[in-house]
């Protein structure tokens, strides 16, 4: 997986910082997660091919997470896209986008598919043979979801020496990889465990922004490979967290620790802070494996 940070600051776009948007490259899918104003320019700057984006996931309807969506949809139209675009986001997003397309007399020539969300419980929003995407219900000032991107477990791995030793025909390999035992011609049953080892460990990416401190999501993101968790405030402003529905760096780190994730990435910094290194310093007092996102950064895992 490769995560590219197009923008990771809260509130308003500024000359050198962008509101939230990121791209997850997972098993040949290019998923766009949130789409603040200016996202299409950041996609170009990061050389991400527009045509490869087929699914966009919007966490909530605050401007710093979706004001760039209508512009991106319009640009897809100008680029003469013809493949479907799927937009997963809160109820209301369809009305916002289609109203603007209607009033500008600019209907898309490509199929625009809205998948509106209003479920307060986690649900699967995308699934294919190799990847599943689930919502992570978040606690913010408006209806809001994070998203959990998980690789599916692959086939079991053949122990070739063992399989050859029993002189098993290759026609059975597929069945063995799926976890089945083998019955030899003489009726002997060879247990699958003897012939295979566990598949490659799967990876997962949990995106949690925006949210106040909330332990309810921990069971969903347990053991994630990487957790991106918003940290709008430092300790000096932690009194603002509850009121604004945001988290501090220490709160994000506490969630990471309790969920036993492998790595925490912080973002969604309030633009009041000059030095975002302070977020890392504060989070590290609780959880060691922490990195800070900045616009244009990427993380491979």
* Active-site residue flag, 64: yes
CB 34 within 8 A of CB 49: no
How far apart are alpha carbons 133 and 144 in whole angstroms?
15
Count of residues of this chain found to bind a copy of itself when the rule CB under 8 A is applied: 33
- Is 141 a binder of a copy of itself (CB under 8 A)? yes
- Taking CB under 8 A as the criterion, the residue among 21, 40, 225, 231 binding a copy of itself is 40
Residue 57 DSSP one-character state: E
Pick the piece of the chain touching a copy of itself (CB under 8 A) from 27-35, 60-68, 164-172, 282-290: 60-68
Backbone angles phi, psi at 227, to 5 degrees: -115, 120
**Residue 194: helix, strand or coil by DSSP?**
helix
CB-wise, 99 or 184, nearer to a copy of itself?
99
Catalytic residue among 25, 34, 64, 181: 64
Residue 67 binds to a copy of itself (criterion: CB under 8 A): yes
Of 69 and 265, which CB lies nearer to a copy of itself in the complex structure? 69
Measured from the CB atom, the residue of 61 and 220 that comes closer to a copy of itself is 61
* Alpha-carbon 48 to chain mean position: 16
DSSP state for residue 248 in the 8-state scheme: B
The answer to the question of residue 119 lying near a copy of itself (CB under 8 A) is: no
- Residue 267 CA: distances (Å) to CA of 6, 118, 264: 11, 25, 10
Query: Does the protein bind a copy of itself through residue 245 (CB under 8 A)?
Result: no
Q: Does 132 bind a copy of itself (CB under 8 A)?
A: no
Nearer to a copy of itself, 41 or 220 (CB): 41
- Spatial separation of the C-alpha atoms in residues 251 and 237, rounded to whole Å: 12
**CA–CA dist 65, 7 (Å, integer):** 10
- Minimum distance of a copy of itself from residue 142's CB (angstroms): 5
End-to-end Cα separation, the chain, in angstroms = 5
272 binds a copy of itself (CB under 8 A): no
The smaller minimum CB distance to a copy of itself, of residues 12 and 198, is found at 12
Contact 203, 1 (CB under 8 A): yes
37 binds a copy of itself (CB under 8 A): yes
CB atoms within 10 A of CB 252: 32
Does 104 bind a copy of itself (CB under 8 A)? Our answer is: yes
Least distance between a copy of itself and beta carbon 127 (Å):
28
**Cβ 212 to a copy of itself shortest distance, Å:** 15
Q: Does 242 bind a copy of itself (CB under 8 A)?
A: no
Q: To which residue do tokens 């996102």 refer?
A: 293
* Token output for 8: 């990771």
Write down the least CB distance from residue 92 to a copy of itself, Å: 4
> What is the number of alpha carbons within 13 Å of residue 79 lying toward its C-beta?
14
Query: Quick check: helix, strand or coil at residue 53?
Result: strand
List residues with catalytic annotation: 64
Residues interacting with a copy of itself, by CB under 8 A?
11-15, 37-38, 40-41, 44-45, 61-63, 67-68, 70-71, 74-75, 78, 90, 92, 95-96, 99-100, 103-106, 141-142
């Amino acid at each position: 997986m490769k995560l590219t940070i197009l923008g990771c600051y809260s509130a308003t776009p500024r000359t050198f910082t962008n509101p939230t948007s990121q791209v997850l490259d997972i098993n040949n899918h290019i998923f766009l997660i949130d789409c603040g104003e200016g996202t299409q320019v950041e996609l170009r700057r990061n050389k991400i091919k527009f045509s490869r984006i087929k699914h966009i996931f919007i966490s909530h309807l605050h401007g710093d997470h979706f004001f760039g969506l209508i512009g991106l949809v319009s640009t897809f139209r100008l680029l003469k896209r013809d493949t479907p675009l799927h937009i997963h986001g809160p109820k209301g997003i369809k009305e916002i986008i289609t109203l603007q397309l209607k009033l500008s007399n600019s209907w898309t020539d490509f199929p625009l598919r809205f998948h509106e969300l209003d479920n307060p419980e986690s649900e699967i929003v995308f699934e294919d043979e190799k990847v599943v995407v689930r919502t992570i219900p978040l606690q913010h000032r408006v209806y809001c979801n994070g998203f959990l991107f998980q690789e599916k477990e692959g086939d079991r791995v053949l122990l070739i020496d063992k399989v050859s030793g029993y002189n098993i025909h290759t026609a059975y390999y597929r069945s063995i990889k799926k976890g089945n035992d083998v019955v030899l011609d003489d009726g002997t049953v060879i247990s699958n465990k003897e012939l295979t080892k566990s598949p490659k460990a799967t990876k997962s990416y949990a995106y949690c922004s925006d949210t106040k401190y909330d332990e309810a999501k921990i069971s969903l993101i347990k053991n994630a490979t990487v957790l991106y968790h918003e940290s709008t405030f430092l300790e000096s402003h932690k009194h603002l967290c509850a009121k604004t529905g945001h988290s501090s760096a220490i709160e994000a780190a506490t969630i990471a620790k309790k969920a036993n994730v492998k790595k925490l990435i912080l973002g969604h910094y309030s633009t009041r802070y000059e030095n975002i290194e302070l977020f890392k310093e504060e989070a590290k007092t609780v959880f060691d494996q922490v990195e800070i996102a900045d616009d244009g950064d990427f993380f491979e895992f």
